[in-house]
Structure 1
């Protein structure tokens, strides 16, 4: 049932907890773990044009570091991984990646950030709302 699991990561603590769950499920199911990070281009809207390249570069480096950390954890448990980075709206990119790569399950963290949840709307909530596949959300205390 779960042959391809998607783990969106930003390297945060709540994502680290989701990584543990994704690895456990992948190991139990013999699944491939797709580790994916998104450079949120909405951050560029408020920047002066001369800072966009600098900030994009920093965010891309952070995304690659987050992926490397999750891939290293999966490798320790002998789990096959695929990794990728995209630029755009995180929720849309996650859902598009899931559809384009025949993902069976998305495992992702939730921040529990009250402001984000009530005012902005969290990425995980949006993914749950629009995902074509099941989504397992993991809180930081899970």
Structure 2
């Protein structure tokens, strides 16, 4: 049933817990694991060009580190893994990637502070509403 699992990570401490779930499911199902980390560029509208370049570069480095850390953990469990770093609206990038690469399941955390949930909106909520495949969300207390 699950041959290609997409794990979305933001590099947070909570994402490490979510990675454990993703790796366990991928290992149990002998599925390939795709790890995606997104550079959220929606906040760049208020920055000048030079600052945008610096911030985007810093965020790409952090996204790469997050994806590589999850990939290393998956590889240690003999789970085939691919990583991708994308830039844009996180929910849209995750859903688009899942559709493009024919993912069978998306696994992601539910986190963020009250400001993010109330003003920006929950990335996981948007993915759940728009994803073409099942979405497993892992709460911060899991």
TM range (shorter): over 0.9
Question: Is residue 89 of structure 1 aligned with residue 84 of structure 2?
Answer: no
In structure 1, C-alpha distance between the alignment counterparts of 2:87 and 2:131, rounded to whole Å: 18
- Mean Cα displacement is larger for which, 87-96 or 108-117? 108-117
In structure 2, C-alpha distance between the alignment counterparts of 1:56 and 1:65, rounded to whole Å: 14
Question: Is residue 46 of structure 1 aligned with residue 46 of structure 2?
Answer: yes
Aligned to 1:110: 110
In structure 2, C-alpha distance between the alignment counterparts of 1:55 and 1:114, rounded to whole Å: 24
What do the CA deviations read for 1:10-67 (whole angstroms, capped 9, x no partner)? 1012211110100010010000000011111112111122211111110100000000
Q: Tell me, which stretches of 5 or more residues in structure 2 are unaligned?
A: none
SS, match of residue 21 in structure 1: helix
Q: Tell me, which stretches of 5 or more residues in structure 1 are unaligned?
A: none
* Pair 43,119 (structure 1): closer, same or farther in 2 beyond 3 Å: closer
Give the TM-score normalised by structure 1: 0.96
Give the TM-score normalised by structure 2: 0.96
CA RMSD, 1 decimal: 1.0
Aligned to 2:23: 23
In structure 2, C-alpha distance between the alignment counterparts of 1:71 and 1:140, rounded to whole Å: 21
Q: Which consecutive segments of 4 or more residues in structure 1 shift more than 3 A?
A: none
Contact 1:7/1:33 (<8 A) preserved? yes
User: How many residues are paired up?
Assistant: 142
